[in-house]
Amino acid sequence: MQRFILGRKNHIAFISAILIVIGFTGRLVFGSESIAVLALAAASVLGVLPISIQAYQALKVRVVSIDVLVTIAVIGAFFIRNYEESAIVTFLFLFGAYLEQRTLNKTRSAIKELTEMAPESALKQMPNQEFEEVEVDEVDVGDILLVKTGAKIPVDGTVILGEGSVNEASITGESLPVLKEKGDSVFAGTILDNGTIQIVADRVGEDTTFGKIIELVEEAQDSKSEAERFIDRFSRYYTPAVLLLGILVWIISRNLELAITILVLGCPGALVIGVPVSNVAGIGNGARNGVLLKGSEVIADFSRVDTFVFDKTGTLTAGKPSVAAKKYYGDNIRQALGYLASVERESDHPLAKAVLGEIGVTEFSTVEGGGILANVDGHRIAVGNATLMEREKVVISDEAKADISRFEKDGNSLVLASVDGELKILMGIRDRIRPGAKEDLARLKKLGVKNLIMLSGDNQGTVDAVGRELGLTRAHGNMLPEDKAAYVRKLTEEGRTVAFVGDGVNDSPSLALAHIGIAMGSGTDVAIETSDVVLMNSDFSRLPHALGLAKATSGNMKQNILIAVGVVLFLLASVFFSQWMNMSIGMLVHEGSILAVILNGMRLLRFRLRK
């Protein structure tokens, strides 16, 4: 029976409204007091049923909820035969709950849209090489899938055949399509706008980027900030205090109507709902714009960040080194390049990839230490850094020393190659700065960030060059993962509120130590799991939006608290110092304040950082 009544609260509110109209029509139009009393009393009894059930359920778990206050107030009004007040209060309370739920659903629309984007089926290659449609749950890692124009990509995978434009808005928030061809990564939940591709499944189900987004955002919405926990504790004591105040007023004044009016006006509804709705809307905005904020506690801390610490490679730079400068010495350079290619085939070091890219070789494997030593066609080849050349007693001329110094000053990492103890090749390899990174860092400064610091394992010359180009506050090179973590710890001990931005396994200790860890979305699983904020698809330009959104959400939360507290104080003051305040007007203002904080919170769904 209780479930039946609670499931029809909206119907009860509608019937109550009709009964109230009948009651006032009978009194004002037909002059029939009996019709008015009968209709308004029926509206009161009907309207208080779901409210009293909710009050009973709250009292069972020893909580004096808003429903308890309203139920007592309505019974009191009914007892003194003030049927108008009791009928109007119950209707406004039920109607307010309806509007509250409806507007709250809109704040959760971002998450609903995400779950609706989840792919349900896939075209999977069967043993007979034909493609058949199967449930997405039937796809395993390593399966080959066909994706046609207009279809959702069902898993995270790698393109092995074909090409097409993919709309990645569900992952990155970017509406412009991205061209995907053989070797490129694609994400579950994105849409192939045109073209036909075959992909091999790398991650399926909940392990996909899209699955993690939904999981993380749902967890974030369920989490509570310190402010929310405080309000929960506050309302636990505040609501009984209002009840006690009402009893004291009745004992002192012997005015039951005044006492029950205080019960209605003191309801803390807007205060209880104001902070959660701000956080839910802020998290929803982030999810729609390629930013995962892992909970309302994260938003509160993020909004106070005054120092950003960045890893260099893959964060401020693209993570794809290329040859930026080169110099040859002596004769037979073509032959020396051939020897270099033969040696670099044995390495998969990023600098080796850059060298191979320069001379057209694509095969490589691992290299250890500072370089490689090899014998090619009877010649001793050394490829590596200056330390290796020194160890091999390679003669470096004054001209080469000057070139080495110049290359390092320009921010290059060095690769030297010698043949039979004679320096032949010097290459300066540099990781390009992310396009737009300088402008994004400037936007962070405008948002109040005081310190922009870069930590890198690269040589100090390279780090200084990047720091100068980006206008960073400080830049430190030659740092191991433990050095980075120690530096972050030192900043926090100095009283800085620190955000660390990185993408690798070696960044995980720093991500965990910082107040806010921010991971690039294409980074490692460990970095993403350790972090508090994730920038999907490693889109660095989302970082200013993320910080601006956190600040806007935190400010919106404070506005809602101010609205809620201000309205309650105004209503209670009006009871004692005015003649016009009554239960009906108080309940109307009370429900209006709840809608005000919800609508204020919903503004965050449309938040965009001004450029």
Residues annotated as catalytic are 311
Residue type for position 126: M
Instruction: Provide the 3-class DSSP secondary structure of residue 348.
Output: coil
Cβ neighbours of residue 446 closer than 8 Å, sequence gap 6 or more:
none
Q: What are phi and psi for residue 517, nearest 5 degrees?
A: -95, 130
Return the DSSP state at 155: S
Q: Are 190 and 160 in contact (CB under 8 A)?
A: no
Which residues make beta-bridge pairs with 416? 384, 426
- Paired tokens of 492: 């926090």
Give the DSSP H/E element, type plus range, for residue 318: strand 317-328
Q: What are phi and psi for residue 26, nearest 5 degrees?
A: -60, -40
Q: Are 546 and 256 in contact (CB under 8 A)?
A: no
- Paired tokens of 420: 């039979």
User: Could you give the C-alpha distances from 407 to 229, 392, 459, in angstroms and in order?
Assistant: 56, 22, 12
Which has the closest alpha carbon to 333: 322, 321, 325, 341? 341
Instruction: Provide the 3-class DSSP secondary structure of residue 454.
Output: strand
- Please give the Cα distance from 75 to 347 (Å, whole number): 83
Helices and strands in the chain: count of H runs, count of E runs: 23, 19
User: Could you give the C-alpha distances from 91 to 52, 76, 87, 474, 544, in angstroms and in order?
Assistant: 13, 16, 6, 62, 45
- Please give the Cα distance from 384 to 377 (Å, whole number): 19
Which has the closest alpha carbon to 416: 357, 458, 372? 372
Buried b / exposed e along 533-545 (16+ C-beta atoms within 10 A): bbbbbbbbbbbbb
- Please give the Cα distance from 235 to 574 (Å, whole number): 22
Q: What DSSP line would sit under 191-210, residue for residue?
A: EEEEEEEEEEEEE-GGGSHH
Which has the closest alpha carbon to 603: 556, 543, 550? 556
Instruction: Provide the 3-class DSSP secondary structure of residue 52.
Output: helix
What is the rounded end-to-end Cα distance, in angstroms, of the chain? 56
Q: What are phi and psi for residue 374, nearest 5 degrees?
A: -155, 160
